[in-house]
């Protein structure tokens, strides 16, 4: 009752899951992003495609058994896509199952016309994405058409994706064919797929920006999460030999070889700029 009174009780949804409290939404989301409209020298070559792997799952079970209503964070997905689109790249949208991509719509920046525009442009692709297996079967031989693989963040990117062998195949394919891999926040959980079947971790020794476990541990206090996380991402990355370059959920971005990462939703604009300019410089 006190939590409800002070606006820090997570909000119960119709399916029994919880979205963030009123206070958490006020502190942790925005109506309008810091997206900068930059006039890039548009890429016009053959490697114009970027595969974007979205989650198809919504509810994350916390340590206390409560379900967190999650998905991909819309800002983390759409703001980098805006920059990459403005730089001349196009997207293929995929989920593991081919079921619709799931967004944390409670975090959608409703007053941001740029974000709304790209969401509407790709809405049909979000609703009917490629099945990742079909991409593997039909498109992986066309590496000359692809510039990068992008795994957006949001806690939902930790559902199903980190243990999926097909995600591992795609990331290994990108790595072996000198494509860029882009991710932010909790999206780097996808990198754990490269350890499946006792394989050596693909990104051992890399510098990387990742959402800090320390912040996830604090957010239940304001009702952002309805309980403690089932597992921690940043510490797991460190255990695998990653040098995590940030300690806060801030605007930090990082480029290491062909890997581009960002620390949090706050890094979405910076990640988009870094990814767009890096791809343009590399593909000239």
**Domain contains 90:** yes
**Domain contains 275:** yes
**Domain contains 20:** no
Residue 52 belongs to a domain with what CATH number?
A: 3.40.50.880
How many domains does the structure of the chain reveal?
1
**Domain contains 128:** no
Query: 57-95 burial, b for 16+ CB within 10 Å, e for fewer?
Result: bbbbebeeebbbbbbbbbbbbbbbbbbbbbbbbebbbbb
User: Rounded to an integer, what distance in angstroms lies between the CA atom of residue 63 and that of residue 94?
Assistant: 29
Please give the residue range of the domain that contains residue 99: 46-119+146-283
Enzyme catalytic residues = 185
**Domain contains 62:** yes
Provide the residue-wise pLDDT of the chain in tens; the chain has 284 residues: 545 545 689 999 999 999 999 999 999 999 999 999 999 999 999 999 999 999 999 999 999 999 999 999 999 999 999 999 999 999 999 999 999 999 999 999 999 999 999 999 999 999 999 999 999 999 998 889 999 999 999 999 999 999 999 999 999 999 999 999 999 999 999 999 999 999 999 999 999 999 999 999 999 999 999 999 999 999 999 999 999 999 999 999 999 999 999 999 999 999 999 999 999 999 98
User: Rounded to an integer, what distance in angstroms lies between the CA atom of residue 1 and that of residue 8?
Assistant: 10
**Domain contains 80:** yes
**Domain contains 75:** yes
pTM here? Answer: 0.96
Tell me which residue of 76, 54, 49, 30 sits closest to 272, measured CA to CA.
Answer: 76
**Domain contains 127:** no
């Amino acid at each position: 009752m006190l939590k409800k009174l002070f606006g820090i009780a997570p909000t119960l949804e119709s399916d029994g899951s919880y979205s963030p409290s009123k206070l958490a939404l006020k502190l942790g989301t925005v109506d309008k992003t810091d997206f900068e409209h930059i006039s890039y020298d548009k890429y016009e070559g053959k490697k114009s495609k970027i595969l974007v792997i979205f989650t198809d799952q919504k509810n994350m079970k916390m340590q206390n058994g409560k379900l967190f209503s999650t998905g991909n964070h819309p800002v983390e997905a759409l703001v980098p896509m805006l920059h990459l689109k403005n730089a001349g790249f196009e997207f293929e949208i995929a989920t593991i199952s081919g079921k619709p991509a799931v967004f944390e719509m409670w975090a959608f920046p409703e007053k941001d016309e740029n974000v709304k525009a790209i969401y509407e442009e790709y809405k049909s692709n979000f609703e009917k994405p490629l099945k990742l297996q079909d991409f593997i079967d039909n498109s992986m031989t066309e590496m000359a058409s692809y510039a990068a693989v992008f795994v957006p963040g949001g806690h939902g990117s930790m559902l199903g994706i980190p243990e999926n062998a097909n995600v591992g195949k795609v990331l290994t394919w990108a790595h072996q064919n000198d494509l860029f891999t882009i991710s932010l926040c909790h999206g780097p959980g996808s990198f754990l797929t490269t350890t499946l079947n006792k394989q050596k971790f693909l990104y051992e020794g890399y510098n990387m920006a990742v959402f800090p476990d320390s912040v996830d541990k604090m957010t239940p206090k304001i009702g952002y999460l309805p309980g403690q996380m089932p597992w921690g991402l940043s510490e797991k990355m460190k255990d695998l030999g990653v040098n995590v370059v940030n300690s806060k959920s801030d605007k930090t971005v990082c480029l290491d070889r062909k890997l581009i990462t960002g620390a949090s939703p706050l890094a979405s604009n910076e990640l988009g700029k870094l990814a767009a300019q890096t791809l343009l410089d590399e593909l000239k």
